[in-house]
Structure 1
């Protein structure tokens, strides 16, 4: 069983990857997408989206980080994939699942699921551009507006050279509305030979077990469920092994917040740092009453300097000189 942390634009960046992978149970994670248009991006663009490139493409906990590219120009994607490979990226992942209107309007993400032939060409060109030892993978949804081309898209991605497929079991039109249609993943598994990884609407161990039963997939990619309950991967592994629940309490989780907040402060403007903390707490409050209390305390605060007692709890302790 493999469990991955999903890429989520504007949410799962390097600081959050660091915090969640530190808790354990994750086999690999994927960067937010790097948008590729018609130019060869400079190395700094890759390192901005994946600062883990400076540490052998691993989080501080040693979890591998894959690079995700998004675009519609096969040649430009191939050129940028080759550059990423030269910078050490261990896996090139291609995004055919993003449902954002702005992204789709510019021919990126899920909108390409209307063009199976283009999917094949993109994967083929990228596969030919990077060394054979570097896998090329793909993440897809069930379709754009409907599931009419679902199986054609999966076949096209495999035929192009994708080493595995992550399938978010909803269409672009479905967005993130429940339910996820896990039975469609089982249908995809019937028509491709490469590994298929299930994704979508897995918030609890029971969700995982039902997804596994409906999709036929042991392997999963966890997104919002793992952000809301960072020990979910550990819980799933324990349940599958027949062991007692492997959960963490708020104290253990809260101990990660100072480093997370310090990394956020180093990355973005001060006025936005508190917003990133509020964003994660907004998910954590689903599982932890203490997170809800902290969220309420800072909900209207633009900078945490306005809440000295809270800022002090998030101030990382300095090593003595």
Structure 2
């Protein structure tokens, strides 16, 4: 993020570290991106991956995963959105990248980190970390297909089962022509089990000439400062930590500017919960159970930070209809004297 400070005699350009929102499948979808970026602090967010196989997706598919295409590649808050592709067929990846660019996208991100078994079985995501030459081919093919002004980045883990190819894979991404790479500091087999190996992210940063973004296990302000110190990276991507603590990015951004912001209280979070549920309900292509399932999923994660979220989860656990959920949320906000 860049801020220009003007005076009659001088204009100073001040750069702050960027905070990115991770592309977590089934968790950080369009309604969650919208909510978290309106709470504030994020500079860029990335869509859930769009799987690329043998076809070129039509406009409806791209808009399903990235409705922000219709909003100049921005969330409602004005935060930039990149579209993420996952696949192993270089030419089809390139064709689909070009297709979504023609629809208005200006930033393509490539997924070499997804640990899901179903994805890996079809030669997508983290399984490709066993084949650095394949990674370079995919990145290079996509890069060569795109106009020069279109940004290309990638996300990777430290390896599939082992870390022995981590530097080689990162170098392949750079050599292929990506402008930056995000490193989730674990292997596929390590999943999300702690710890994240931030020192390995530092090794990759030292080996490459393109920017490296640190990712993995940032749940608090202290984690943020520690990942930057250990990795040496300027920019950090938040995933589960941002879902569990929705104002974490806002607190980080304020701290980077020398401001201490108090964390949002449960009473302050409540209207955002109702707002999120209503946003899920507004998705015209969503299944009728989708808003209910997504709300309960989020409450299950929020309770790691707010005990009251666990109580609300229990209260709503057996409710299955949208109307009944809306009634309970409206009643709860009213009891707390909140105007939504």
Per-residue CA deviation, residues 213-250 of structure 1 (Å, 9 max, x unaligned), is: 11001210000000110111122223334322342222
1:211-250 correspondence to structure 2 within 5 Å: 211-250=227-266
Counterpart in 2 of 1:43? 59
**CA-based RMSD:** 1.6
Structure 2 gap ranges (5+): 1-16, 334-340
Which residue of structure 1 aligns with residue 161 of structure 2?
A: 145
TM-score w.r.t. the length of structure 2 is 0.89
Q: 1:262 aligns with which of 265, 278, 283?
A: 278
Larger CA deviation: 215-224 vs 240-249: 240-249
Give the corresponding residue for 1:201: 217
**Cα distance in 2, alignment partners of residues 52 and 313 from structure 1:** 32
Contact 2:292 2:325 in 1 (8 A): no
Quick check: 183-192 or 259-268, which moved more? Answer: 259-268
Question: How many residues get paired?
Answer: 315
Provide the residue aligned with 1:112 in structure 2.
Answer: 128
Segment drifting more, 283-292 vs 8-17: 283-292
Distance, in Å, in 2 between the alignment partners of 1:97 and 1:124 is 18
* Deviation, structure 1 residue 261: 1.2
Q: Contact 1:66–1:91 (CA<8 Å) still a contact in 2?
A: yes
* 2:338 corresponding residue in structure 1: none
The 1-side partners of 2:252 and 2:188 are apart by 28
The corresponding residue for 1:285 is 303
Q: Deviations over 1:153-192 (max 9, x none)?
A: 0000000001000000000000000000000011001111
Residue 193 of structure 1 deviates from its aligned partner by 0.3
Distance in 1 between the 2:307 and 2:238 partners?
22
SS of residue paired to 2:213: strand
**Selected match of 1:133 from 123, 129, 149:** 149
CA distance in 1, matches of 2:331, 2:71: 28
Alignment pair present for 1:294 and 2:312: yes
Q: Give TM-score scaled by structure 1 length.
A: 0.94
Q: Which residue of 2 aligns with 1:319?
A: none
Asked whether 1:164 is paired with 2:180, we answer yes
Helix, strand or coil: the match of 1:172? coil
Relative to structure 1, is the Cα distance of residues 134 and 313 closer, same or farther in structure 2, using a 3 angstrom cutoff? farther
Q: Cα–Cα, structure 1 residues 310 and 120, in superposed 2: closer, same or farther, change >3 Å?
A: same
Q: Give the C-alpha shift of residue 64 in structure 1.
A: 0.8
